[in-house]
Amino acid sequence: MPAVELLYQAGLSSFQSGSLAVVNAQVEPRLRELCSKSEIYQLQQSFKPICDDIVGMGLKSKCEIDGQFDGVLVLPSKNKRLTFSNMAKAILLLRENGKIIMACANAHGAKSYDAALKKLAGYVSSTSKSKCRVFSARRDAGFDEEMAKEWISAADVRRVEAHGLYSQPGLFSWDRADIGSELLLQYLPELTGDGMDLCCGYGLLSERVLKHCSDITQWHMVEADHMALNCAKKNVQSWQNKVQLYWQDAQLDDLPRKLDYVICNPPFHTGQDQDIALGQAVIAQGCRSLKRGGHFYMVANRKLPYEAVLAKYLRRFETVIETQGFKIMHGER
């Protein structure tokens, strides 16, 4: 039984009424029942595809939670520092004697999060099932508020010295420029006209391109993670008169069309798992966004099978170079 099922099951057992919040909420049938039993509920999720799925259940989600709650459920993110921050925020959201419940797969660090909650709250109650751990605590006099503030601060948005941009823990390659993006930048020509950075992250590619290509007239930035998009907005502030940012699912949502070019470092993971179809869907969307004669520039891990998608949507394409485990590809619609 996955951790999300165990967490919602524990929530249903613990909270029969009152106010409830879920941090990093995920879609699962028990979520609707949890919300129906709550007098007030808030579901936090900043990733657009999951937000859309939550809305599809007839529920509401938001990127940030506010207020005070009788219970807060927390699912870990992929980044430990961000998870610690979410744990700390969850305890601060609790009323006196309110209860925080977490669940995590053993393979994803359950033991360390259990220990961290004990350190933060002063004690913890935990059980194990189906290779997962469910653990909980209450907010009382043993709660360490200063530690909570430190954990939150450690995951805040900040300017990162390694690349000079605003970023934060939990984002892809948040504290360094990733090799793939650096390679793509090396092989991009001078860009002019209207273009798009598809799956822009915190804006590494966009900031570099806008800095060096003065003849760009309109620049679209599409990103599914609202946290990343907030950072991207800060990083391209100097070009705000020509930039438009979109919080969108690059697989499914309508994107800008008839563009002169699209650049893309497509994602290929869903949660902890590799998802080749995700990258293929994003690439197809990017190609469809081009006008006739428009150019598509992308970087990908060398072994990922994206050529068939490019062949389907573009008149021609080529692998510009393969190096350091990556391939730079260029095509024309």
Residue spans of the domains in the chain: they are 3-154, 158-332
Q: Which amino acid is at 298?
A: M
d(CA 158, CA 168): 6
CA distances from 107 to 84, 112, 113 (A): 17, 11, 12
Instruction: Find residue 57's DSSP bridge partners.
Output: none
Q: What are phi and psi of 321, to 5 degrees?
A: -165, 150
pLDDT digits 0-9 by tens, 244-296: 999 999 999 999 999 999 999 998 755 555 678 999 999 999 999 999 999 99
DSSP secondary structure letters along 70-102:
EEEEE---SSHHHHHHHHHHHHHHEEEEEEEEE
DSSP secondary structure letters along 138-193:
E-STT--HHHHHHHHHHTS-EEETTTTEEE-TTSTTTTS--HHHHHHHHH-----E
pLDDT digits 0-9 by tens, 121-135: 999 999 999 999 999
Q: Residue 44 in contact with residue 24, Cβ under 8 Å? A: yes
Residue of 104, 93, 103 lying closest to 70 (CA atoms): 93
Q: Residue 114 in contact with residue 20, Cβ under 8 Å? A: no
pLDDT digits 0-9 by tens, 198-247: 999 999 999 999 999 999 999 999 999 999 999 999 999 999 999 999 99
Q: Do domains 3-154 and 158-332 have the same CATH topology?
A: yes
Is pLDDT above 80 for 156?
Answer: yes
Q: Residue 108 in contact with residue 272, Cβ under 8 Å? A: yes
Q: What is the pLDDT of residue 1?
A: 64
158-332 under CATH 3.40.50.150, yes or no: yes
CATH superfamily of the 3-154 domain: Vaccinia Virus protein VP39 (3.40.50.150)
